[in-house]
């Protein structure tokens, strides 16, 4: 999740508009939709808080039961308006709030970093067992890594947020990674996007090899941990 800080003021929206100055239609749309857009983003922030809290509670619960804290860190981010617009345009979708809600599944993102791969399954299962969490999509890039070598478990879940007069289901993208998977993904992203031009085949192969090494480290650490705890 490279997109940074949440949108919490109109200034950010204005900045986004400036970056897309050439696109008058989008600028006009943002002007007209400023209030409902902010409202929708507030709902996404609430959903992100709900999911983050669920993980903090699970961490406590596991620590009480097994004397271990499966979560190293939790990060949240709200997708920037310019990235939302870019994605809509990329997928040829109409620039409307409805298409953001219906088709952009990663407006709200929660990243959960664990120490060991087994903790990822444990947490994902525990989250999905909760009766107010609905699974929308699952992409298991741990069992089926991407061609780049990227590993992570991605879930799109829908959770309810309770507003003063209504309940609303909102989608949140949850990415589960081990420390090693996160380390690789962060460095790979830095290396890949630092250059103006695509990486050579050799550089890609090298990154892929590093990802295998990271996965091997995960396996060995998991074994060591099992040996100790059994
Ligand atoms: P996006 O438009 O990127 O959201 O693609 P998508 O909807 O096909 O989703 P996918 O689940 O494949 O990947 C979404 C996110 O996973 C990205 O935004 C990154 O955070 C991460 N990701 C996916 N592939 C890679 C990769 O090769 N390297 C790194 N560093 N991160 C990746
Ligand atoms: Mg994304």
How far apart CA 116 and CA 102 sit, in angstroms, is 34
Beta bridge partner(s), residue 135 = 157
146 CA distance to ligand 1 middle (Å): 9
Q: Is the pLDDT of residue 6 over 50?
A: no
Beta strands 153-162; 167-178: pairing state:
antiparallel
Question: What was the pLDDT predicted at 19?
Answer: 57
What global pTM score does this model have? 0.88
Mean pLDDT, the chain, integer: 89
Q: Is the pLDDT of residue 109 over 60?
A: yes
Q: Is the pLDDT of residue 198 over 80?
A: yes
Question: What was the pLDDT predicted at 229?
Answer: 53
The torsion angles phi and psi of 183, rounded to 5 degrees, stand at: -60, -50
Question: What was the pLDDT predicted at 228?
Answer: 64
How far apart CA 18 and CA 84 sit, in angstroms, is 15
Determine if residue 80 is left, alpha or beta; phi over 0 gives left, psi from -120 to 50 gives alpha, anything else beta: beta
Beta bridge partner(s), residue 29 = none
Beta bridge partner(s), residue 173 = 109, 156
| Atom 13 (ligand 1) nearest CA | 154
Q: Is residue 181 lining ligand 1, measured as CB closer than 6 Å? A: no
Q: Is residue 154 lining ligand 1, measured as CB closer than 6 Å? A: yes
How far apart CA 47 and CA 172 sit, in angstroms, is 7
175 CA distance to ligand 1 middle (Å): 10
Question: What was the pLDDT predicted at 27?
Answer: 76
Collapsing DSSP to helix, strand or coil, 118 comes out as helix
C-alpha dihedral (173, 179, 182, 184), degrees to nearest 10: -160
| Residue of 111, 152, 184, 204 to test ligand 1 pocket, by largest number of atoms within 8 Å of CB | 152
| Atom 20 (ligand 1) nearest CA | 1
Question: What was the pLDDT predicted at 32?
Answer: 82
Of ligand 1's atoms, which has the minimum distance to the CA of residue 139?
11
How far apart CA 79 and CA 46 sit, in angstroms, is 14
Question: What was the pLDDT predicted at 130?
Answer: 98
Sheet of 71-78, strand order: 71-78, 108-114, 167-178, 153-162, 134-140
Residue 160: burial class (beta carbons within 10 Å; 0-12, 13-18, 19+): middle
pLDDT one-digit tens code per residue, 20-35: 545 667 777 778 888 9
pLDDT one-digit tens code per residue, 126-169: 999 999 999 999 999 999 999 999 999 999 999 999 998 999 99
Contact of 229 with 116, CB cutoff 8 Å? no
What percentage of the chain carries pLDDT values higher than 90?
73
Mean pLDDT of 96-115: 96
Contact of 210 with 186, CB cutoff 8 Å? no
Q: Domains in the chain, ordered, with CATH?
A: 10-181 (3.30.460.10)
Beta strands 108-114; 71-78: pairing state:
antiparallel
Q: Is the pLDDT of residue 226 over 80?
A: yes
Question: What was the pLDDT predicted at 21?
Answer: 47
Q: Is the pLDDT of residue 2 over 60?
A: no
Contact of 205 with 149, CB cutoff 8 Å? no
Mean pLDDT of 60-75: 92
Lowest mean pLDDT of 152-161, 164-173, 189-198, 208-217, name the range. Answer: 189-198
Lowest mean pLDDT of 29-43, 93-107, 114-128, 205-219, name the range. Answer: 29-43
Q: Is 173 a catalytic residue?
A: yes
Q: Which helix (H) or strand (E) holds 174?
A: strand 167-178
Q: Which residue among 32, 173, 216, 223 is the active-site one?
A: 173
Q: Is residue 190 lining ligand 1, measured as CB closer than 6 Å? A: no
Band (194; pLDDT cuts 50, 70, 90): confident
Q: Is residue 221 lining ligand 1, measured as CB closer than 6 Å? A: no
């Amino acid at each position: 999740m490279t997109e940074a800080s949440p949108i919490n003021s109109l200034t950010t929206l204005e900045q986004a508009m400036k970056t897309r100055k050439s696109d008058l239609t989008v600028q006009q749309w943002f002007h007209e939709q400023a209030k409902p857009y902010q409202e929708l983003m507030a709902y996404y922030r609430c959903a992100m808080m709900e999911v983050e809290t669920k993980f903090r509670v699970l961490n406590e619960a596991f620590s009480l039961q097994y004397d271990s804290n499966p979560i190293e860190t939790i990060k949240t981010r709200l997708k920037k308006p310019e990235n939302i617009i870019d994605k809509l345009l990329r997928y040829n979708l109409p620039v409307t709030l409805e298409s953001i809600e219906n088709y952009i599944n990663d407006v709200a993102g929660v990243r959960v970093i664990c120490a060991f791969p087994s903790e990822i399954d444990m947490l994902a299962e525990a989250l999905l067992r909760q009766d107010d969490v609905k699974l929308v999509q699952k992409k298991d890039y741990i069992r089926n890594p991407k061609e780049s070598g990227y590993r992570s478990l991605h879930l799109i879940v829908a959770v309810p947020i309770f507003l003063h007069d209504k309940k609303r289901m909102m989608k949140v993208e949850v990415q589960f990674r081990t420390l090693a998977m996160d380390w690789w993904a962060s460095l790979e992203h830095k290396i890949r996007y630092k250059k103006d031009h695509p990486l050579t085949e050799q550089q890609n192969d090298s990154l892929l090899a590093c990802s295998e090494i990271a996965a091997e480290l995960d396996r060995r650490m998991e074994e060591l941990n099992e040996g100790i705890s059994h």
